[in-house]
């Protein structure tokens, strides 16, 4: 049985605030470049709290898909999307149960940006997880794999 992070992300959600969301937006902007999220499709693998799905939506992503295999993570993501996004930005985000190791649970359509922050190594089969994540990326798109070894900041999650 894989370790689940849902309880952790629900706890984090209790302290998530506008400053942390803003830091995540800034982090994604620095990582991908100014204007490189707007109008594009974004998949957040192992979305956890939904923080970077929210950041992508705020940066103008046309569509955002937050995927997680943990029901409590999906709950945390939905709760946070509702709290921190409004109108068309909220409706741009879809939250779906999915497991990167089970391709039948993943979207059929490829995305412009496929993003995974510190999630793939928790699958128990990191190389297959990376292979499947790459398969979700459109030709010429961006596959973003971030490590949890980066300095802890308000943008983690």
Residue 97 domain flag: yes
pTM beyond 0.95: no
Q: Output the domain CATH number for residue 117.
A: 3.40.50.150
Residue 64 domain flag: yes
Residue 1 domain flag: no
State which residues form the domain around 68: 6-146
Residue 151 domain flag: no
CA dihedral 18, 23, 25, 31 (to 10 degrees): -170
Residue 153 domain flag: no
pLDDT at 145: 87
Q: Burial of 138 by CB count in 10 Å (0-12 exposed, 13-18 middle, 19+ buried)?
A: middle
The total number of structural domains in the chain stands at 1
Residue ranges of the chain whose pLDDT lies below 70: 1-4, 120-125, 147-157
Residue 155 domain flag: no
**Beta strand segments in the chain, E:** 41-45, 63-68, 93-97, 111-117, 137-146
């Amino acid at each position: 049985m894989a370790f689940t992070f849902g309880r952790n992300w629900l706890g984090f959600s209790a302290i998530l605030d506008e400053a942390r969301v803003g830091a995540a937006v800034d982090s994604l902007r620095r990582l991908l470049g100014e204007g490189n999220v707007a109008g594009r499709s974004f998949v957040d693998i192992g979305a956890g709290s939904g923080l970077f799905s929210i950041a992508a939506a705020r940066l103008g992503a046309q569509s955002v898909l937050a995927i997680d295999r943990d029901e409590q993570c999906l709950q945390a993501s939905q709760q946070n999307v509702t709290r921190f996004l409004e109108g068309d930005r909220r409706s741009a985000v879809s939250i779906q149960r999915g497991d990167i190791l089970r391709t039948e649970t993943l979207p059929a359509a490829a995305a412009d940006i496929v993003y995974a922050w510190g999630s793939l190594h928790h699958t128990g089969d990191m190389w297959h997880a990376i292979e499947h994540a790459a398969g979700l990326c459109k030709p010429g798109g961006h596959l973003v794999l971030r490590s949890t070894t980066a300095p802890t900041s308000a943008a983690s999650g």
